[in-house]
Amino acid sequence: MDCHRFQARLGLYWDDEVSPDERREVGEHLDACAVCSAELDEIRSIARDLAAPADVAVPGALWSAIEHRLDRKPVRIAREGSIQFFRTPVAKAAAVMFAAGLGLWAFGWLDGGATRVTASQVDFGVLLDALPVDARKAFMKFLVFHDARESSPHGARQYAPDLNFGLPEDLPGGFRLEEVYLLRFGKLPGVAATYGRDDDFVGVVFHEPTCQENFGMHRDYPCDIGKHKAQKVSVGEWRLVHLTDPTTCHCVLSRLDEHDELPSVMSAVAPKLTTSSPHEH
């Protein structure tokens, strides 16, 4: 499915500024696509935050800074009483800034002091911060953040031919492949997938080891996965484990026991990993 085409219209869809035919088409896509549904949930969340009154003093120079940035590229003004969301970093980040009441930080961002995500950075903080609430939704939020597009195992191998990964239909322990996604980490490609077993799930992410990993307020620690040395971040009962070889970082989010169940899952998603080649990171 062409997720980019539909995501570009989600703001208009939310504002009820699409034709009846377009609304029906987008609605049918949302029923079938978890990534775009999560993107729409994010828009709803931003709208709720914007609707809540915020007692914050906004620097006077902020407005001129915003105007200067927006003047660089024409944008359409939403009709009165509606909120128009744009797929541009400035507008989307600006909405989040005001919702959080971070006026001074916003001014620094607009002045070039910060960016949404640095080149080739994997922002796992987006995932880890939301894990205690709902692990599946947290994983979807991470996918949306990195511009996920639905694909297939074959499409993923064509998209990222230099990465070493496996996407079998079934993982040890009875987990079955649900969805495969293509990601972007800066200019570098990445791949992700979800596996389900009853009410449980496993999320996997593959990226080049040159990517900088951001865990937000969380920390990773060394661990042993079978015969390999790896790193893990624990949040409640969930663990994000990273096992790296010279070409690929294999990241697995699960509640699996790292001594009993997880080693066989790691072997399935990293089939070419040898005991002599892994790197700690």
- Higher-confidence position of 10 and 110: 10
Average pLDDT, the chain: 77
- Give a yes or no: residue 163 inside a domain: yes
What residues make up the domain containing 98? 3-110
- Give a yes or no: residue 182 inside a domain: yes
Task: Note whether 19 and 146 are same-domain residues.
Answer: no
**Cβ proximity of 14 and 6 under 8 Å:** no
- Give a yes or no: residue 71 inside a domain: yes
Task: Report the pLDDT value the prediction gives residue 240, as an integer from 0 to 100.
Answer: 96
Measured CA to CA, the distance from residue 134 to residue 139 in angstroms comes to 9
- Higher-confidence position of 179 and 105: 179
Q: Is the pLDDT of residue 83 over 50?
A: no
Task: Note whether 182 and 232 are same-domain residues.
Answer: yes
Residues near 63 by Cβ (< 8 Å), separated by ≥ 6?
none
**Cβ proximity of 152 and 220 under 8 Å:** no
Total domains in the fold of the chain: 2
DSSP structure string for 48-80:
HHHHS----PPPHHHHHHHHHHHTTS--PPPPT
Task: Write the pLDDT tens digit of every residue in 134-185.
Answer: 899 999 999 998 989 999 999 999 999 999 999 999 999 999 999 999 999 9
**Cβ proximity of 170 and 177 under 8 Å:** yes
Measured CA to CA, the distance from residue 281 to residue 270 in angstroms comes to 16
**Cβ proximity of 84 and 96 under 8 Å:** no
CA end-to-end span of the chain, whole Å? 35
Segment 39-65 mean pLDDT: 67
Task: Note whether 87 and 149 are same-domain residues.
Answer: no
The pTM of the full predicted model, rounded to 2 decimals, is 0.62
Q: Which residue among 84, 110, 136 closes a domain?
A: 110
Q: Which residue among 63, 83, 110 closes a domain?
A: 110
Burial of 181 (0-12, 13-18, 19+ CB in 10 A): buried
Task: Report the pLDDT value the prediction gives residue 210, as an integer from 0 to 100.
Answer: 84
Task: Report the pLDDT value the prediction gives residue 264, as an integer from 0 to 100.
Answer: 93
Tokens representing 258 are: 């790292």
Q: Is the pLDDT of residue 111 over 90?
A: no
Task: Write the pLDDT tens digit of every residue in 228-250.
Answer: 889 999 999 999 999 998 899 99
Task: Write the pLDDT tens digit of every residue in 246-280.
Answer: 899 999 999 998 888 999 999 999 987 754 344 44
